[in-house]
A and B are shown apart, each in its own frame.
Chain A
Amino acid sequence: KNEVEQSPQNLTAQEGEFITINCSYSVGISALHWLQQHPGGGIVSLFMLSSGKKKHGRLIATINIQEKHSSLHITASHPRDSAVYICAVRPARSYNTDKLIFGTGTRLQVFP
Chain B
Amino acid sequence: DAGVIQSPRHEVTEMGQEVTLRCKPISGHNSLFWYRQTMMRGLELLIYFNNNVPIDDSGMPEDRFSAKMPNASFSTLKIQPSEPRDSAVYFCASTFDRGLYEQYFGPGTRLTVT
Residues of A within 8 A of B (CB): 31, 33, 35, 41-45, 48, 86, 88, 90, 96-100, 102-105
Contact = CB atoms under 8 A, between A and B. Distances in A.
Contacts of A100: 45, 99, 103
Given A42-B107, A45-B105, A102 B55 contact: no
B56 A44 contact: no
B64 interface: no
Nearest to A100: B45
A45 B56 contact: no
B65 interface: no
Nearest to B31: A98
B88 to A, nearest CB: 12
B89 A41 contact: yes
A42 B91 CA distance: 9
Interface of B: 31, 33, 42-45, 48, 50, 55-56, 89, 91, 93, 95, 98-105, 107-108, 110
B56 A42 contact: no
Contacts of B50: 98
Given A41-B110, A97-B56, A98-B33, A86 B95 contact: no
Contacts of A44: 105
B48 A99 contact: yes
Contacts of A48: 101-102
Given A33-B103, A45-B102, A48-B101, 15 more contacts: A31-B99, A41-B110, A42-B105, A43-B93, A43-B105, A45-B103, A48-B102, A86-B42, A98-B55, A98-B98, A99-B56, A100-B45, A100-B99, A102-B42, A102-B44
A1 to B, nearest CB: 15
